[in-house]
Chains A and B, each alone.
Chain A
């Protein structure tokens, strides 16, 4: 969060604006989203559309109340992206009002009350997800079975509408636990990992053929999308790499010493919200630190918190909580770790004259 106002002097315009960045991020999300829609069928399509539409509607409403022009802000796609990210983290068969309420919390409470795009302290999509998780634990942890499109078990169009708008009639028959949730409940009954993991395959988990949030199941497709963003220079490497590396290193250490209690790094990286959070959520420009060193600290502490919450916390997944906690530390990180000012050293003292002369 930069608070410096540009002074006089030559400034050059950038070819990429907010709109094109948001578009690129949505392109990068498309593969994982499309796969999620394929896996979970019409109810997931309904939920995604409802959430996107509600985000745009809330954005327009807030801008109108604030007396600002709505069309330019809607066109830049930031509200669309917030709604998209939120929908990706929701359980795919969640009822419609979860999407609408979540979009309202993200846009109104997470973004517009602070003054709109660029002013918010917390990532709006994660804020909404955590509010929903705390307030509606039942709806937010009902994970639909994988029922790919065009297979027999997939719900039809009308059945999809019924699931989204009136709720599941037989939740126990068509839902189950995610890998992280299953492992957590099994461990509470003192079952070692070799027993509790027997139903879950590592390859399916990385591909995404597993229960989970709408767009978060496929670690591979999310990783590919993230790599594309890195190539396009929309995001930089410090946050995602430090976050994934810290989870991998910590989980590797614990797994090495007690493989029956602690999940392996392969499992940790491939499941839950980690991949989506590392590339698409923690890298939010507004709520992450400015300097590469600050970003590495931010990313590795995010990873540490995720691992701690997953392993010892009350919830099976902690990406949302971890990112919100680190968002609140971002101003502090930016206060202590600043970019070097031109003509001064890292501590802000002027460079010695002969050094400047020598440079000439």
Chain B
């Protein structure tokens, strides 16, 4: 897929470099609270993704109308309206998922990542770019939620995407797998401290990858400089 340079850069920022969790360390509350299983992480991630894309779009569309002095309250009102819609929609069509995620769906309103994107990107950029930014940031967040949920679920109970059909619909039944049969379970990772510990290791892993890449880039540029001279 050929994308213009701006879109590629936005995608890189959202998915990796400036990822909501990895880069900005935002939205840790829902992250740690709902990632007991990969399924819950996926549900929460998708809900946040929808809110993020819509809020970025709406904020960008109205960015010339909103007075700068009261922009934050207006953003919050927009986001609150969107979250209410998502909350009611999930309650109607994904009722089981809604029961599991519970309070954390309405609390997307206070997810600082969404207000952050509205303030720092959507309020200054055209609509299509803002929608794309919201999509990429949302995807990045969803990826981390699913990754952390998967790690915690595998270690704590030896399964992956358990109850996916129950929570997200019959079409996702193929995701349900039992990786380690007769696994006794490692309860700590399902508890809140396990969330913190797993997140710490995942962030450390991301830093390690970044450092490897940086070292390789330095070597390559140095090599080029040598051959050129």
Q: Which of A's residues lie within 8 Å of B, judged by CB?
A: 109, 113, 131, 134-136
Closest A residue, CB atoms, query B190 = A135
Residues of B within 8 A of A131 (CB): 188
Residues of B within 8 A of A135 (CB): 185-188
Q: Which of B's residues lie within 8 Å of A, judged by CB?
A: 184-188, 191, 197, 200
Per the bound structure, the CA–CA distance linking A134 and B186 in Å amounts to: 9
Per the bound structure, the CA–CA distance linking A136 and B187 in Å amounts to: 7
Partner of A109, one of B185, B187, B191, B197: B197
- Contact between A136 and B197 (Cβ–Cβ < 8 Å)? no
Per the bound structure, the CA–CA distance linking A113 and B200 in Å amounts to: 10
Per the bound structure, the CA–CA distance linking A136 and B184 in Å amounts to: 9
- Contact between A134 and B191 (Cβ–Cβ < 8 Å)? yes
A interface secondary structure, majority: helix
- Contact between B200 and A134 (Cβ–Cβ < 8 Å)? no
- Contact between A134 and B188 (Cβ–Cβ < 8 Å)? yes
- Contact between B197 and A134 (Cβ–Cβ < 8 Å)? no
Per the bound structure, the CA–CA distance linking A102 and B191 in Å amounts to: 18
Per the bound structure, the CA–CA distance linking A131 and B193 in Å amounts to: 10
Given A131-B188, A135-B187, 7 further pairs, Cβ under 8 A: A109-B197, A134-B191, A135-B185, A135-B186, A135-B188, A136-B184, A136-B187
Per the bound structure, the CA–CA distance linking A231 and B160 in Å amounts to: 56
Per the bound structure, the CA–CA distance linking A136 and B185 in Å amounts to: 8
Closest A residue, CB atoms, query B156 = A135
Per the bound structure, the CA–CA distance linking A109 and B188 in Å amounts to: 13
Closest B residue, CB atoms, query A101 = B186
Q: B103 to nearest A CB, angstroms?
A: 25
Residue in B187, B188, B197, B200 whose Cβ sees the most chain A Cβ within 10 Å: B188
Residues of B within 8 A of A134 (CB): 187-188, 191
Residues of A within 8 A of B200 (CB): 113
13 residue pairs bridging A and B, Cβ less than 8 Å apart: A109-B197, A113-B200, A131-B188, A134-B187, A134-B188, A134-B191, A135-B185, A135-B186, A135-B187, A135-B188, A136-B184, A136-B186, A136-B187
